[in-house]
Amino acid sequence: MKKAILLLKNGEVFVGRNFGYEGETSGEVVFNTSMTGYQEILTDPSYTGQIVTMTYPLIGNYGINDEDVESSKIQASGFVVREASSIYSNWRGKLSLQDYLKQNKVVGIEGIDTRKLTRILRIKGAMNGILSAIDFDINSLKAKLDKVPDMAGLDLVPEVSIKEPKQYKPFVKGNPHIVVIDAGVKLNILRLFDERGANITLVPANYSYEQILNLKPDGFFISNGPGDPAAIHYLIKTIKNLIGKVPMFGICLGHQLLGLALGAKTYKLKFGHRGANQPVKNLKTGVIEITSQNHGFSIVENTIPDDVEVTHMNLNDNTIEGIKHKKYPIMSVQYHPESSPGPHDSLYLFDEFMKMVRENSSK
């Protein structure tokens, strides 16, 4: 296997072996604590512009299948693992992780100390890095890394959003109509809405509120996605104009954008929450949910307006994980209730929103 180098913004160098595509990539280096689910992680549009490090030491042992994708391609900029399994074994497996990365032209590195890398990211914070299997000159890599923009202030939504509106499936007469803002939506979100009897129209992230209202939605959903929510001014404006007109639900980036539209502020977390084992407390029921998460920004608690209540809290660091409007049928969560990968503790949120939509329609 050929040599590969990962250079961090702070000057730390990791030398390992290239697997996947033999090329070069850059982005914000982050870590994910999931033990499985690497296919869902790689294809999650929220990872656009990021090099993902898996903290679990062995990755790739069950291969790649046709079902566990969250978008049409790998979205992560690069992939870092301690050991990439040279063989895979699973009844659904169709392809090795190495070949999957090659097909999608995604650079991977293995054989480095991912514990050390994760510790650096936890202490210093997530930072930009460059991963190369073709250039091993540190000064050359530093020069290229200096040109990579920081994630803060970056709007990456146009890279993942659809360009034209489309129906997810043929409409069923009498079913509620949900308009989904595609800021990088995961496919399992659409599957779960479909299972609950929703007619779904996907629209681009730059769709205006007038265009959305012309579609006559019974509910409005703001999806997950990449980048800094505060930089997506056009979408914040759209959400502001829809408040009070239609029931709304946001997940991850959608939660942050909804918070900004309601008057709160957001900030960049030191190293973010990425994994399938994050404990979240439902403040209404007292139940602890084990959740799947992938985000690097959060809502500032003391900026939340009085007409909005906090519904969920992260038990690791007490950051805001859910909000609900006291007057309007509006709710959002920071984590990923659709899982993929992860536990199913929070699927009830889709039922709550669909109930909200149907009750509002009957009025």
Give the strand pairing for 219-222 and 248-251. parallel
DSSP 82: S
Residue 273: active-site member: no
Q: Which two tokens mark 288? A: 């602890």
User: Nearest Cα to 19, choosing from 2, 38, 39, 35?
Assistant: 2
Residue 338: active-site member: yes
**CA torsion through residues 65, 68, 71, 75, sign:** negative
Q: Report the C-alpha gap between 179 and 222 in whole angstroms.
A: 9
Q: Report the C-alpha gap between 301 and 281 in whole angstroms.
A: 16
Q: Report the C-alpha gap between 153 and 245 in whole angstroms.
A: 29
Peptide bond before 343: cis, by omega within 30 degrees of 0?
Answer: no
Q: Report the C-alpha gap between 251 and 333 in whole angstroms.
A: 5
Residue 252: active-site member: yes
Cα separation values, 183 from 52, 180, 257, Å? 20, 9, 11
Q: Which one from 177, 273, 325, 336 is the annotated catalytic residue?
A: 336
**Do the Cβ atoms of 25 and 131 come closer than 8 Å?**
yes
Q: Which one from 110, 252, 273, 325 is the annotated catalytic residue?
A: 252
Which residues are catalytic, by number?
A: 252, 336, 338
